[in-house]
Amino acid sequence: MTVPASPARRSTAKPVRAAARPGRGRAVPPILVRQVRNGIEESVHRGDIVEVDAAGRLIRQLGDADRAVTLRSTVKPFGLLALIEAGGIEAFDLEPAEIAILASSHSGEDLHVRTLQGIYRRTGVSQSSLACGSEGMPLDALTASRLARDGEKAGPVRHMCSGQHTVSLLLSRLRGWDPAEYWKPGHPSQIAYRAAVAAVFDTPSASLRTAVDGCGIETFAFPLREVARAFAMLADPSAIPANDRRAELARSLTTVRDAMLANPELIGGRHDRLDTSMMKAAPGRLISKSGMEALRGVAILPGPRIGTQSTAASGLAIKIEDGDGYDRGTWAASVEAVRQVGALDGGALRDLARYHRPVSLDPHGRAAAEAVPEFELVPVGELIG
């Protein structure tokens, strides 16, 4: 791998663009999901959705395709290329499940810990080197309850980003770098990770717009359409145009894609993780990868779709404006967007019903409110100019 040297309402017409907020210079995003309680609209979730193919062609758009977002955990399948391109799979004899956990935001369940510890034992990497912290972990409520019952404190290996941090530790082992402070931007492993992200997004490393992620390492900002394009390339690396230098990453992207497809429970978890549930509902058809602050990338593989003649791969990027602390907005919008592009059949939608229209229950188990997705993701070619 080489680092590049250069750089509301239903939408039935053109994408919704309301008046810009004073001093912000950005249009108010359209309403994607409404929270309704006995017919009363209590709140709304606004956001932006973009669908793009591997060549960068805009297929569908609602809101602002050029909105800058921080990748957060959606970067993980792409940053992993730093280890793969360096020969890490061969050097450490990594299995597909182990590759998948390195691209995950796992729930900290025992199967996630066992998979990571298997890597550590075989490579001689110490899990005590992990610097991702353990605050608020594990995400899995059942595992957290068991640990609390047994008086056990969750360690960093149960952090949802421990797989991503393990990439840096493995790179350090492979290259002979001191793993101390591997999380700092100037560490060689972070420079390599940054170069991999830059290569996937076809931009010089020095031009990357960075910030600090919640787990302590860097995250990167890109327009929403470029996030969608990255997931389209993950969906079908062979569709990257031959004259695009990113075509040289096709083999590594295919390795990541196939590992994630084969191990959906390692990408999220077994309980209340939409990424895992959506991949299991449509096996072999898509990869879903969430990031904090309600960003999600979806790689939709080539194949027949419902309601459209297209069979080409594409990538979706979905961003909820308010960060969606309850998950209901991003759950509802994500499932509805994937449905509208034809990648979920009736059976898959039944499996995903609790995510598609999330219900809030009262203490007696009665349905009290519902999040209802309400938008139309119209193909760009059908928009009226």
* 287 domain residue, yes or no: yes
Contacts of residue 183, Cβ cutoff 8 Å, sequence gap at least 6? 131, 132, 165, 168, 190, 216, 217
Confidence (pTM): 0.92
* 308 domain residue, yes or no: yes
* 345 domain residue, yes or no: yes
Coil/strand/helix, residue 278: helix
Q: What's the rounded Cα separation, in Å, for the pair 237 and 182?
A: 30
Show the domain range for 326: 43-382
Q: Give the model's pLDDT for residue 24.
A: 57
Q: What's the rounded Cα separation, in Å, for the pair 321 and 317?
A: 13
* 6 domain residue, yes or no: no
* 20 domain residue, yes or no: no
For residue 249, the domain's CATH number is 3.40.710
Q: What is the pLDDT along the chain (385 residues), one digit of tens a residue?
A: 543 333 333 333 333 333 344 345 678 999 999 999 999 999 999 999 999 999 999 999 999 999 999 999 999 999 999 999 999 999 999 999 999 999 999 999 999 999 999 999 999 999 999 999 999 999 999 999 999 999 999 999 999 999 999 999 999 999 999 999 999 999 999 999 999 999 999 999 999 999 999 999 999 999 999 999 999 999 999 999 999 999 999 999 999 999 999 999 999 999 999 999 999 999 999 999 999 999 999 999 999 999 988 999 999 999 999 999 889 999 999 999 999 999 999 999 999 999 999 999 999 999 999 999 999 998 997 765 5
* 26 domain residue, yes or no: no
Q: Give the model's pLDDT for residue 26.
A: 77
Q: Give the model's pLDDT for residue 27.
A: 87
Among 75, 106, 80, residue whose Cα is nearest residue 276: 106
The pair phi, psi for residue 269, each rounded to 5°, is 175, 180
Among 140, 136, 128, 73, residue whose Cα is nearest residue 104: 73
* 11 domain residue, yes or no: no
Q: What's the rounded Cα separation, in Å, for the pair 91 and 70?
A: 32
CB distance 158 to 168 below 8 Å: no
DSSP state of 292: T
For residue 89, the tally of other CB atoms under 10 A from its CB is: 18
Q: Give the model's pLDDT for residue 384.
A: 53
The pairing of strands 359-361 and 314-320 is: unpaired
* 319 domain residue, yes or no: yes
Among 218, 224, 230, residue whose Cα is nearest residue 320: 224
Number of folded domains in the chain?
1
